[in-house]
Amino acid sequence: MARKRVLSLLMAAFLIAGAGVAVAQASTGGRSHRRDGDYGSGGAATATPVKHLVVIFQENVSFDHYFGTYPHAANTDGSPFYASPQSPTVNGLSGALLTNNPNGANPSRLSHSQALTCDQNHGYTAEQKAYDMGLMDKFIPFTDVESCSPPDQGAPHLVLDYYDGNTVTGLWNYAQHFAMSDNSYSVNFGPSTPGAINVTGANTYGVICGPGSAVYSTTPIPCTAAPGSATATPDSPQPQGTGTLYSDADPNYDICSATQDGRAASATVQFGGENVGDLLDRSGTTWGWFQGGFASPDYVSGQPSTDDLSTVCTGAHNNIGGVSQIDYNPHHEPFQYYASTANPKHLPPTSIGMIGHQDQANHQYDLKDFFAAADHNDLPAVSYLKAADYQDGHAGYSDPLDEQTWLTSTINHLERLPSWRSTAVVILYDDSDGWYDHQMGPIVNQSQTTLDALTGPGLCGNNPAQVPSGQQGRCGVGPRQPLLIISPFAKRNFVDNTFTDQSSVVRLIEDNWLGGARIGGGAADASAGPLDNMFSFRDGENRPLFLDPTTGEPARR
């Protein structure tokens, strides 16, 4: 009976919170902004002084896993971290959560030497079961994976463990200097691909064809076109299909799904409906998705003849453990799921000057193209960056130290550019990897399928009328994850409590460049919380912070 009362109270609170998500416009006083000397901006009017948005989309981290004890670090190993006395606190791990955790074991601090750990179970259903109807006490039986970790890596009960500022030093220093949220979530439960779709298309519903192992549908339809063979149709989005993506599957519009992963057509996915790239195309706004390993290993941006298309998908690097990882991961590239925004054969841009514009690359590029455009003073208005696998932070093949090297090197590079004065960088994550986080978000999207288990068997809320647009299989919001904004316009040493999710990035783009247009078709951007409170456009500019890529500590320029 007590358990039923807890569930009833939790459900009421979550549903009220979900219904009350505000839909606000950018806090700019209603003005459009043009700034002389904004390199690469093309003079386009924006709702804020931000002319260049760089979205760095990393992998598989819960908020508590990286920031649970912020701003307090043990300083017993690794790089030292000392917080400002004025640092705000976060909704993190303290008190009984550390000494009498409801999971039957207590979270342990992972040291700097324990950067390499197992990948946890982060399936759509497993994560819901770990939440145990809001009690947050079943992570060990449902998401814990420790078979690949020696005892000194935190096992047993690895899924509960966390890092502090002696290992994720760079991110903690960015939080000290810029703005961070402690109330931001994935749109849905589940792994990487749904998160990638949500940060660009805000809706995992709309699958035209795909395998039942990754797509919920009353009438599953497998794809038949060989991966990478279907024709892209720029500027012509296909209608939404009737399936919902809930797990990882490679994009059908990508030759690497076949040449790298060996996927048969029936194991790949095609999406219908629109994504934010379609909206940007219609407005004439420059944009691109830039991913490590998208081109051949020897590719030089601006010299298309150097790109051997027979070797795309083959680049590789070693992580800190000395293990070689293929750089490019097809199921991390969301725009390759849509005919309107795909570059199936990984064709290079026709020139550096065309990066961000419509040509044979169709806005899909290698990371080398991003830095070439940036150094050419021709940064697109909107850029999504995806690290090569070994640097994306995904446990099992990447780690916080390799991730830190890439994050700090990238941001240092951006801060040295003339365009930095009108740039904002958002760092966020695709999913939680199943790592423990103690805070459940509101139930914004209900779902009642055989895959759901959040509030009972087959249930994520029990009211079919609360299923968004009747689109089942979108239970959420999902786990809480880090989100930081690094910019001259970011508030300094600030923790934001506004309720947001991955689709808040889509909303930021729409509000700043597209006059508040929305994707439609049930997409989550229509109700996403704004990121506005993390910015200050009237209080002067926040100075750059240059960090040492190895230590994450402040460094000279």
DSSP 212-238: TTTEE-SS-----SPTTTSPP-TT-PP
Residue 219: other Cβ atoms inside 10 A: 6
What's the pLDDT score for residue 540? 66
What's the pLDDT score for residue 150? 56
What's the pLDDT score for residue 26? 36
Match domain 29-61+165-428+461-534 to its CATH number in 3.40.720, 3.30.70, 2.60.40, 2.60.120: 3.40.720
User: Digits of tens for pLDDT over the chain (557 positions)?
Assistant: 344 434 443 444 444 344 333 333 333 334 455 443 444 444 568 999 999 999 999 999 999 999 999 999 999 999 999 999 999 999 999 999 999 999 999 999 999 999 999 999 999 999 999 999 999 999 999 999 987 765 555 568 999 999 999 999 999 999 999 999 999 999 999 999 999 999 999 999 999 999 999 999 988 899 999 999 999 999 899 999 999 999 999 999 999 999 888 889 999 999 999 999 999 999 999 999 999 999 999 999 988 888 899 999 999 999 999 999 999 999 999 999 999 999 999 999 999 999 999 999 999 999 999 999 999 999 999 999 999 999 999 999 999 999 999 999 999 999 999 999 999 999 999 999 999 999 999 999 999 999 999 999 999 999 999 999 999 999 999 999 999 999 999 999 999 999 999 999 999 999 999 999 999 999 999 999 999 999 999 876 899 999 999 999 999 76
Task: Provide Rg for the chain, Cα atoms.
Answer: 22
Round to whole Å and give the CA distance between 141 and 129: 9
Contact between 339 and 231 under an 8 Å Cβ cutoff? The reply is: yes
Amino acid at position 181, single letter: S
Give the Cα-Cα-Cα angle 530, 531, 533 (nearest 5 degrees).
Answer: 105
Who's near 49: CB < 8 A, 6+ residues apart?
A: 33, 35, 422, 489, 537
Phi/psi zone of residue 133: left (φ > 0), alpha (ψ -120 to 50 degrees), beta?
A: left
What's the pLDDT score for residue 45? 87
What's the pLDDT score for residue 22? 35
Task: Compute the Cα dihedral for 176, 180, 181, 186 and give only its sign.
Answer: negative
Collapse the DSSP code of 309 into the 3-class scheme (helix H, G, I; strand E, B; otherwise coil) and give the result.
helix
Per-residue pLDDT of 461-479, as tens digits, reads 999 999 999 999 999 999 9
Residue ranges covered by each domain of the chain: 29-61+165-428+461-534
Collapse the DSSP code of 295 into the 3-class scheme (helix H, G, I; strand E, B; otherwise coil) and give the result.
coil
What's the pLDDT score for residue 25? 35
Widest pairwise Cα distance in the chain: 70
